[in-house]
Structure formats: structure tokens, C-alpha cells
Amino acid sequence: MKQYVYAFREGSSEMKPLLGGKGANLAEMTRIGLPVPGGFTITTEACIEYYEQGNMIWDDLRQQIGQKLSEMETEMGHQLGEVKNPLLVSVRSGAVVSMPGMMDTILNLGLNDETVQGLANTSGNQRFAFDSYRRLIQMFGDVVLEIPKYKFDSLLEKKKTEKGAASDTDLVAEDFMDLVEAFKKVVQKETRKPFPQDPQVQLMMAVEAVFKSWNNPRARVYREHNDISHHLGTAVNIQVMVFGNMGNDSGTGVAFTRNPSTGENKLYGEFLVNAQGEDVVAGIRTPKDIEEMKNLLPEAYQQFKEVAQLLEKHYRDMQDIEFTVNRGKLFMLQTRTGKRTAQAAIQVAVDMVEEGLITKEEAVLRMNPSDLDQLLHPTFDEKALEEAALITKGLPASSGAACGKIYFTPEEAVNAHARGEIVILVRNETSPEDIEGMVASAGILTAKGGMTSHAAVVARGMGKCCVSGAGELNISEQEKTMKIEAISLTEGDFISLDGNTGCVYHGKIATREARLGGRFVTLMEWADDLRKLKVRTNADTPRDSAKAVEFGAEGIGLCRTEHMFFEENRIAVMRRMILSRTEDARRKALAELMPMQRDDFVAIFKVMGDRPVTIRLLDPPLHEFLPTAEADIQRLAGELDVSVSQLKETVRELAEVNPMLGHRGCRLAVTYPEIYEMQVQAIMEAATQLKREGHHVIPEIMIPLIGEIKELQYVKELVLKVIRQVGNDTGETVPYLIGTMIEIPRAAITADDIAKEAEFFSFGTNDLTQMTYGFSRDDAGKFIKEYRDKGILEKDPFQQIDRRGVGELMKTAVKLGLESRSDLKLGICGEHGGDPSSVEFCHLLGLDYVSCSPFRVPIARLAAAQAAIRYPS
Ligand code: ADP
Ligand code: MG
Ligand code: MG
């Protein structure tokens, strides 16, 4: 027969999946001899079985509970329901993954009209006995009978007012007797049944209530928020009561072995005298600093301090501990790994290595890479956030916090920024046209677009906060308003964006700047020693490149050249080039662009020093550079001296039904070779200049969107021709590499051919995912959420590499590529390069490097180290 119930002394911390976190740790503390009130745990399997049986406690389970209860009664020397000297218990939930405050606890179970007298007599303390009884009715009423809490709370408040009592410690025995009667009436009225007097009945009802609490709405919401499965179930712990409400020699408290917010190695916590259970956290009375316990209960304090240290050593991590002092005697009621801020996590991990408690590998493994984000960007002050007015929620597209005045066009954003205002750019969606407005803004909010939309990608690159896809917003760029239900905001109003959660707030919220202390550097150095993957960055300006180097980037994995054409003095030339009717006219415009582009490369090469730089030749379809708004078209027609209708006609001709699969990438070079010729000339001249200045630059020229080897052969020939030309003109030879992106499934499958011509591969996993799934990057946001809600997709494949599909193609490309060229350089430059799980996958594939936006570089460094520890080669 299956064992569904375990005494604390039968368990250990190893049995977490079965006993839940709380049960397993109570067992562990019992096992190592700490003062834990006796008890037993009903397993998570029993909870799952309970649901499978159609919400029923079956006979066998009932018997096993009865068996453990009577063993416990024998040990304690008295019994549940014993009139003269009753045994009381608590019934506590405890899931496998800790869900603080999400489920329910019942204390003082076993009290009824008779046993309360017994308790009063044996303890010699009437007040305590009736206080405990009213607490039972209150908690049982709330958790088991589902009577609204306020019905009890308001009676307690009334009593306090009547008596002029500031706190419930000022109430006396008779007051609690009155309350017991009043509470029983509430139960009778609300449930049409008296408060259950039989302790055995109380116990079974309480166990069922805990099982059921696993599925209460707040628990479900919490699990969804934290990616915890709904099928784990919760354990139930039944434990002998100890009492912190026995008088001034008793109390209850909660403490962390170190400061969970800063990481400082000092006991941190709160304590209340003559109190029980949740009083400390419930806010009824203001708890005291744990330090004060030293004066109030010196012996128990000393003992607690020792136990806290022992627990930390035992678990080798910071602990979050609950305890009670019963007439001077200390009892441990819970311990678990303490939740902490990213800053505290770093401090604790590094300190523990220095204290010899854990290894460097463990320290590196303990940090959640994504949490580093909190440290690199400004964040909202937590207290201020609690009081903020939420307007709506979109996607957390780029981390950080921003608070400023809203503007609806890039021009107005630029102007407001010039006036010294802090700007939030609000758009339905952004396009490359908006770049300057985005640069001028502290944050970006869009109604449309997903995590890989233009706004999201660009904002991440710039390290700017961005909330995208806030679909409930009604944005009118013309009227300069954003509306949602009753709220209507116009230009110049203040909002606050939280890029970590996607929340949009009304008004100003105070922010805190990022702080990168010495311990951060130490931890990252350990990570660097451990990792195999190199980490590069996606950057196309000297400023982003410098930021990335500061964050530890070892090169540029993707320098997009298209953004360089959007600056004010360039876009006009670019447009003239695009709208040229003859090759001659096109070459003329390109000749104007060449020196500008060359200077960009010179500046970036200088920042990067001897680090490798991969430059991608022009990739987006040309019409992305053309204006769409009527006013812009008119202005451009004037500049180019063509009629508006003629210009519109050309714009229409260039528009594509499906631009993502259209005339872009290397296809542009097949039609207009002169574009890539200009770019290669700019790259090679820049490299030559640096060589003459004594630097050692090896540009990596990357050709995008190859699907067919002959495409690559054609474009490569053209690239080589220009390289030779520059060599002849300058009389210098500069080393270089020519490679390609692998972003079309056909390229992955024919990678053996491709590698004959390419010296490196860089996986463009945004496009590769788009084309493998057939999901449009720009439209998938609309349905991927639905897919996730319905369990069709577990993760958004644009955020985390789909190992089964996209990953399989990558694997094939790596294998075939290396067969043709054993020294093929392999990297990834899609957005996935900054996602920890995807970085791990790249490590497993044996790539040479990952490349990600500057602000994700530290995350990738840490994730790469974790992958190397978990999967040593
Ligand atoms: P949560 O999971 O919400 O922390 P717990 O099961 O830990 O809930 O119970 C909340 C509090 O109730 C504990 O911190 C402790 O103060 C009190 N409590 C629980 N069991 C007992 C017990 N056997 N004796 C005394 N107090 C208890
Ligand atoms: Mg607890
Ligand atoms: Mg691409």
C-alpha cells in the first residue's frame, strides 16, 4: 500500500517533491535535532489523488492520517479533543515550490467549547485560551467555511473601540469570551450550521480546505505568473501547536539570515511579543526589529541566532525562518531558501564563496541570469510602485523604468527632448523613420507589435525601456491622445513605464539608478573563467559599442548597416538613391553615402580596438527607407523636385505584399550590385585607415539572407572585386573574412555547400524562426499569447530558441558546415543571443560565440558560464 502520510522524523529535505518545501524542511530540521514541534505531512501525491477521486478523502488516506495522529498523541501524552488537557495542532499547506502567502493555514485546531476550558485550566491563562479559540474560529471560518474575513475583523475592531484598546494585547479574557460567542454566531448565520465542535471533523475539513486552496484563484494566478505547473499539488502539514500568545515571555517572529534586499551578512527580521502566527506580517501591530528580542527574550534570542547560523551552514544558502517562543522556549516552525533582490543575490553568493561556504561554480549557478537586468537598468522604487495607478499592461519588451511626458511623433519627441524634457514616445508601432525620436526618448510605448517588433529590438539595443503591444490602448497620433476606458491622456501628460513587467502607470514614479558594485565584477570574472562561449554584441553606433565593451563584449557579432542611413543628413541621399531611375544616378547618390558610412566604420573599429567586428551588408527592403505619411511625401517630392503623384507612384511600386519574404538581403545586391559595392568599399577603406594608424582590424563581411549557394557565389565575387580594387588603390592589404547568415531553412540544410564559400556562419535566429514556423515576426504577437494560454506553445519561439525545430536546423547546419570547412567560425546574432536558455543551447551546439544587445551582454556571459558548468565538454 502506498504511503501517503509521513511523520516529520521519517522525512528529509531530499523529499521535497513528495512532502512539499515546508514539510521536507520541517523533517530536515527535526532530523538534525532542532527544536521543531512534532507533526506529520500528507503528501502532494495525496492532493493529486484527492482531485482525481473527485474531491474526496478516501478511506485509506483517512486511516493513514488517523494512524499518524495517534502516534503523535502517544508521543505527546495527550490527545486531540481531550477535554482536560487538549492537544492542539496547526494545519499548514506547503507546495513544492514556495508560494509565499498564496495558500492557507489554520492554527489552534482542536479547540471547542469544552476543550477551551481545559486549555484555560492547564495553562492557568484564560485570556490565552479564549484568544486562541477566537483565532481558530476566525481562521477556520475564513479558510474552511469561506466566510468573508471582514465579518470577523470588524467585530474585533468594534470590541477594541468599545474597550478603548489600542491593540489586541490590551483586551482581556472576557473580551475574547465575548468575541468567541460573536464569532460562533457569524458562523451559524453564514453557514446555517454551528461551528463544528468535533476536533476530528475540524481536522478533516481543514485538510480538505488545504487541498482545495491549491486551486484557489490567487494561487492559480501566482502559478501562472511564475510558470509553475498546476499539476504539482500541495502537501498538508499537521503540527503540534506551540504558543507565542502565552504572555510577555512568549512571542513569534520571522527572520532572514542575511539582509534580503542588500545582502548584508546580518540577521534581519521582525518579532512580536505575546502574539501568534501571522500577527507579525498582518499589520495589526507594528512588529519590532529582531535586534530588540535580545533585550526582551535574551536566552531565546541567543539560541535563535545560533540556530539561524547553523541552518545557513547546513543548507549553504541564506534562509528565511519562522519561529515561535513559547514561555521562553524556542521552536522552529519553518525554514526555506530566502528570496532576494538581484543585488543581494550577488552579494550573498560572492560573500559565501569568500567565507568558504560554497564554490565559485555554485555562486555562478545561483544567480538567475535574467535578474541581472534589474541591476543594469534604472528601476522603480518598490514602495512608490505599490501606490502607483496602473493604466494598462503590454509586453515587457525592454527592461528598465522610465517616467516622462508623452509625445506621439518622433519630431515632437526630439523637440521636447531638446527643451530638456524627459520624453516617453507613444506610437501605434515604430518604424526605422522614428529612430531619432526613439533616441530622444527615455521610454517607448506601442500599442502594436510583439517582443521582436521594431520598437522592441531597437529599444533593447539602446538599453531603453520599452513596453510594446499594449493592445488595449487606443492611440491617435493625429489627435495626440491615448485612451483606455475612462482615461484619456494627451501630449505632455506624465506616464511611467515598467519595462520589466510591461506595466504602464499614470503619473510620475520615482526611479533608482543602476549600481554595479565590486561584487558584480567579481562574480562576472568567475563566470568569464568558466565559460566556453565568447560573447559579442549587436551594435551599430560607437556609443552602443562602447557600452557593450564596458559590459564585457568581446566583439561585434552584428553591426547592422541600415540604421546608419536614417540620420537626418543621410536619409535624403538614401532616398534619392532608392528613387533613382538609372544606375548612374544611383551611383552618384551612393558615392555621397560612402564617406559617411566609412567614417561610421572607422569610429566603431576604433572603439572595438582589436576585437572582431562582423558587418552585415544592407538587409531590409528599400521601401522601409521611404516616407509613408502624406506630409513627409510632399516634403520629399519638393526636395527631389518630382511631382507628388509621381513620387507616390514610385513608392507604390516599391511596396511589397510580403516584405519579409521579398526584395531584401542579398537579393538587393543581385539587382543593384552597386549598393554592396559601396558598402564594401567603405568597410575596406576604414580598415585600411586603421591599419595605417597601427591597429589590427580584421573586418568580417556578412552577407544576409542566403538560401542558395549560387547567390553567395555571385555576391562574394562582387565583394572580392571591390576588395581587390581598394587594395590596388591604397597599396595596402588588409585581412578580412567573408561569411553569411544562416537564416533561411534552405541554407541550413545545404550548409555543406554554403560553407565552401563562407568563412563564418552567423545564425540569424529571428528570421530562421520566422521561416521555420511560418510565423510572421511582426504579426505573431497577436496569436502567440493565445497559443501559450491554450498550451499549444510553451514558450514564445521568438524569445527562446525552439530546440526541437529551429534548433534541429541549426544542428544540421553546424554539422554540415564543419564537414566542408573544419575551421568555420560559428555564432548567433538573433535576439536569442541574450536569452539564457538559448545561450545554453548554443553552448551545447558548440558555437564559438553568441551576440546580443549591449545590455544583455552580462546576462549572456553568466548564462554561458552556467551552461559550461552544467554541461562540461
Ligand atoms: P505560510 O506558508 O503562509 O507562511 P505557515 O504554515 O508557515 O503559513 O503558517 C503561518 C504561521 O503560523 C507560521 O509562521 C507560524 O507563526 C504559525 N504556525 C504554524 N504552525 C504553528 C504551530 N504548530 N505552532 C505555532 N505557530 C504555528
Ligand atoms: Mg510560513
Ligand atoms: Mg535577418
The reply to whether ligand 1 has any atom less than 6 angstroms from the CB of 101 is: yes
82: CB partners within 8 A, 6+ apart: 115, 118
Surrounding residues of ion ligand 3, Cβ less than 5 A: 743, 764, 767
- pLDDT, position 283: 58
- Contact, 318 vs 258, CB < 8 A? yes
The reply to whether ligand 1 has any atom less than 6 angstroms from the CB of 73 is: no
DSSP notation for 112-143: -TTHHHHHHHHHT-HHHHHHHHHHHHHHHHHH
- pLDDT, position 100: 62
Distance CA(529)–CA(522), nearest Å, equals 11
C-alpha cell belonging to residue 606: 576604433
Mutate to test the pocket of ligand 1, among 278, 281, 331 (most ligand atoms within 8 A of CB): 278
The reply to whether ligand 1 has any atom less than 6 angstroms from the CB of 37 is: yes
The reply to whether ligand 1 has any atom less than 6 angstroms from the CB of 99 is: no
- pLDDT, position 769: 97
Q: What are the backbone angles phi and psi of residue 824, rounded to the nearest 5°?
A: -55, 130
* SS (HEC) of 201-225: HHHHHHHHHHHHHCCCHHHHHHHHH
Distance CA(288)–CA(295), nearest Å, equals 12
The reply to whether ligand 1 has any atom less than 6 angstroms from the CB of 434 is: no
For the stretch 16-25, pLDDT in tens is: 999 999 999 9
862: CB partners within 8 A, 6+ apart: 364, 367, 369, 372, 523, 524, 527, 836
Closest by CA position to 376, among listed 849, 866, 864, 853 = 853
Mutate to test the pocket of ligand 1, among 90, 132, 216, 321 (most ligand atoms within 8 A of CB): 90
- Contact, 531 vs 870, CB < 8 A? no
392: CB partners within 8 A, 6+ apart: 470, 472, 473, 484, 504
Distance CA(285)–CA(662), nearest Å, equals 67
* Residue 743 Cα to ligand 3 middle (Å): 6
* Residue 64 Cα to ligand 1 middle (Å): 23
Measured from the alpha carbon of residue 101, the closest ligand is: 1
Give the residue, by CA position, lying nearest to ligand 1 atom 11. 277
Give the residue, by CA position, lying nearest to ligand 1 atom 15. 277
- Contact, 263 vs 348, CB < 8 A? yes
Left if phi > 0, otherwise alpha if psi is -120 to 50, otherwise beta: which for 124? left
Buried/exposed code over 185-200 (b: 16+ C-beta within 10 A; e: otherwise) = ebbeeeeeeebbeebe
Within a 10 A sphere around the Cβ of 409, how many other Cβ atoms? 18
Measured from the alpha carbon of residue 618, the closest ligand is: 3
Across 434-510, where does the E strand assignment appear? 443-446, 465-468, 474-476, 481-484, 487-490, 494-498, 503-506
Mutate to test the pocket of ligand 1, among 246, 250, 333 (most ligand atoms within 8 A of CB): 333
* Residue 323 Cα to ligand 1 middle (Å): 8
The reply to whether ligand 1 has any atom less than 6 angstroms from the CB of 139 is: no
Distance CA(830)–CA(762), nearest Å, equals 9
* Residue 322 Cα to ligand 2 middle (Å): 6
The reply to whether ligand 1 has any atom less than 6 angstroms from the CB of 135 is: no
The reply to whether ligand 1 has any atom less than 6 angstroms from the CB of 105 is: yes
- Contact, 31 vs 20, CB < 8 A? no
| Nearest atom (ligand 1) to Cα of 326 | 25
Catalytic residue ranges: 454, 829
* Residue 334 Cα to ligand 2 middle (Å): 6
Closest by CA position to 239, among listed 278, 273, 203 = 203
* Residue 766 Cα to ligand 3 middle (Å): 6
The reply to whether ligand 1 has any atom less than 6 angstroms from the CB of 277 is: yes
- Contact, 239 vs 39, CB < 8 A? yes
- pLDDT, position 200: 96
Strand partners, 496: 403, 505
Strand 234-240 to strand 39-42: parallel, antiparallel, or no bridges (unpaired)?
Answer: antiparallel
* Residue 301 Cα to ligand 2 middle (Å): 19
Give the residue, by CA position, lying nearest to ligand 1 atom 17. 277
Give the residue, by CA position, lying nearest to ligand 1 atom 22. 241
- pLDDT, position 838: 97
Strands of 487-490's sheet, edge to edge?
474-476, 481-484, 487-490
- pLDDT, position 791: 85
* Residue 252 Cα to ligand 2 middle (Å): 12
- pLDDT, position 101: 60
The ranges of the chain with pLDDT < 70 are 100-103, 281-284, 452, 515
The reply to whether ligand 1 has any atom less than 6 angstroms from the CB of 334 is: yes
The reply to whether ligand 1 has any atom less than 6 angstroms from the CB of 252 is: yes
Measured from the alpha carbon of residue 99, the closest ligand is: 1
